[in-house]
Amino acid sequence: MPEGVNLVARRKLVLLSDLYFESNDELNERIRSLFLHQKPSIGYIPSCSDPQRIYVEHTRRFYRQFGIEDVQYYDLDTEYEESMLDSLFECDAIHLSGGNTFYFLSLLQQRNMLEQLRSYISDGGILIGVSAGSILMTPTIQIAGYGEDADENHTGLTDLEALALVDFEFAPHWDRSEEMMQPFREYAQNHQTKVYACPDGGAVVVENESLELYGGATPAL
């Protein structure tokens, strides 16, 4: 974690495995509780351009479940405009979408967004990630290239350092089986790190120094 940035004291982070539309009132209420305003705004950053706006519309439906209507689209890829960043960082929360984790990190690097997102968190902003977006909150995206369903590193990215807002790694889409858990355990042992495996519908919620697990998320021990 970068020196001089007191991220632990101000963190409000939600690491989701997937956007889940089945009833999960406890998690939905917990996410809603992070917001200070009755009508908050969310800045949506896709992992790559979404010209048909298919995925952002899916995300808007997700947030409507708990009364959030204002979800704005901010593209870092083919529709990128630097002038949009001022309004992005005025949003109550920023949502990092799912997708190819390597490509997403390469976009954040190209747009010099990593340090800006860290500053946003230290200033009290909320960061919500889904799958790749959640992995980006951890120290490295190395786990995204691990296992049978690994993301492909099409960009040839060599610097895999991510936001480092937490001191653990995140494994989304766990099917709750021992068979799928075992590689996560091996990864944690081989890299001397803590890994949280998270089923779809689950989450890791970090607020300041507290960490809460929802929907079957569990450490890979």
Q: Mean pLDDT over all residues of the chain?
A: 94
* Interval 30-35 mean pLDDT: 95
- Three-class secondary structure of residue 58 per DSSP: helix
33 pLDDT above the threshold of 60: yes
pLDDT for the residue 7: 63
Give me the pLDDT at residue 66, please: 85
**pLDDT for the residue numbered 6:** 55
95, part of any domain: yes
Encode burial over 65-76: b for 16+ CB neighbours within 10 A, e otherwise. Answer: beebeebbbbbb
The answer to whether position 36 is within a domain reads: yes
- Give the mean model confidence (pLDDT) for residues 50-69: 95
Domain residues for the domain of 117 are 15-165
Model confidence at 60: pLDDT above 50: yes
The dihedral of CA 163, 58, 34, 220: what is its sign? Answer: negative
Residue 109 lies in a domain: yes
Residue 70, domain member (yes or no): yes
Query: Does residue 114 lie in a domain region?
Result: yes
Domain count within the chain: 1
pLDDT of residue 73: 98
pLDDT at 1: 43
CATH number of the domain bearing residue 51 = 3.40.50.880
| % of the chain beyond a pLDDT of 70 | 96
In this prediction, residues 10-19 reach a mean pLDDT of 96
Beta strands 210-214 and 203-207 are: antiparallel
- Average pLDDT of 86-114? 98
Domain assignment of residue 129, yes or no: yes
The answer to whether position 214 is within a domain reads no
What is the C-alpha separation between 108 and 115, in angstroms, rounded? 10
Q: In this structure, are strands 195-197 and 169-171 parallel, antiparallel, or unpaired?
A: parallel
Q: Is 154 a domain residue?
A: yes
